[in-house]
């Protein structure tokens, strides 16, 4: 059975999609997608040997070798000419790492119409990348599993406009204001306030002062939202 987190990612994959799951680890997600008849085919990419071998083994065990190709490659280099990938999933990494994967092999996205990205932290980096690269946020979800908070971002090609608060918090998440969202950002504010107190006690160097002001700005931004 898939984790609640990966199940959420899977729920945004269009039926009939050809999926590339990058950083697939055990290839649980592509196996699930093909088994459920959601994806017609899939590529599972892994850059590390151990997880790559787990993926190969899992795909074999599930009897899906004709539908899922496992490749050992760095990020989107796992996508080859002729794969005709329509959806890319990247889950379980930090936002900046996901962005670096998207930036490194842009030609691999040529046939892709949907990105389903699940950053563990710093989703902001993904929203900034999307804004700069003509991808628009179609959907966003925040969820909690085993005491950890995850975000899922669904991107389609298109233009969007985001305010500073929306880039940080997520336009859809900000609107929905679910209990998990409110709790996450309340905790974030409390952390920032603790850092500010430490700065106040440490004395006011120019750098400290700048950091303090930056945090005040963030706290205000989130509180207003």
Q: In what order do the strands lie in the sheet with 135-145?
A: 68-72, 39-46, 17-22, 87-93, 114-119, 148-157, 135-145
Of the pair 23, 170, the CB lying nearest ligand SAM is at 23
Name the E strands within the chain: 17-22, 39-46, 68-72, 87-93, 114-119, 135-145, 148-157
Residue 31 is a binding residue for ligand SAM (CB under 6 A): no
What tokens does 121 get?
Answer: 């932290």
Residue 74 is a binding residue for ligand SAM (CB under 6 A): yes
Question: Of 44, 101, 130, 153, which one interacts with ligand SAM (CB under 6 A)?
Answer: 101
Residue 75 is a binding residue for ligand SAM (CB under 6 A): yes
What tokens does 158 get?
Answer: 């298109």
Residue 51 is a binding residue for ligand SAM (CB under 6 A): yes
Report how far Cα 20 is from the mean position of its chain's Cα atoms.
14
Residue 151 is a binding residue for ligand SAM (CB under 6 A): no
Residue 58 is a binding residue for ligand SAM (CB under 6 A): no
**Which residues, at least 6 apart from 100, have a Cβ–Cβ distance to it below 8 Å?**
75
Q: Is 29 in contact with 2 (CB distance < 8 Å)? A: yes
Residue 23 is a binding residue for ligand SAM (CB under 6 A): yes
Question: Of 19, 30, 42, 45, which one interacts with ligand SAM (CB under 6 A)?
Answer: 45
- Choose the stretch contacting ligand SAM; rule: CB under 6 A; options: 17-25, 127-135, 143-151, 159-167: 17-25
143 strand-pairing partners: 150
Of the pair 32, 185, the CB lying nearest ligand SAM is at 32
- Choose the stretch contacting ligand SAM; rule: CB under 6 A; options: 16-24, 34-42, 105-113, 164-172: 16-24
């Amino acid at each position: 059975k898939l984790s609640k987190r990966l199940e959420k990612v899977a729920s945004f994959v269009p039926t009939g999609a050809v999926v590339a799951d990058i950083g697939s680890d055990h290839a649980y997600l592509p196996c699930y997608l093909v088994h459920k008849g959601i994806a017609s085919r899939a590529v599972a990419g892994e850059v590390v040997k151990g997880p790559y071998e787990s993926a190969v083994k899992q795909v074999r065990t599930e009897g899906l070798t004709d539908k899922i190709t496992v490749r050992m490659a760095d990020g989107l280099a796992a996508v080859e000419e002729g794969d005709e990938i329509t959806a890319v999933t990247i889950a379980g990494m930090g936002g900046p790492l996901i962005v670096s994967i998207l930036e490194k092999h842009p030609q691999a996205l040529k046939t892709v119409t949907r990105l389903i990205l699940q950053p563990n932290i710093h989703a902001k980096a993904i929203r900034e990348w999307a804004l700069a690269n003509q991808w628009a946020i179609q959907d966003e979800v925040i969820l909690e599993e085993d005491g950890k908070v995850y975000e899922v971002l669904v991107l389609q090609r298109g233009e969007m406009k985001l305010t500073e608060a929306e880039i940080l918090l997520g336009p859809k998440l900000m609107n929905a204001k679910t209990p998990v969202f409110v709790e996450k950002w309340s905790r974030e504010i409390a952390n920032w306030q603790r850092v500010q107190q430490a700065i106040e006690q440490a004395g006011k160097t120019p750098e400290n002062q700048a950091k303090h002001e930056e945090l005040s700005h963030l706290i205000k931004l989130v509180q207003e939202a």
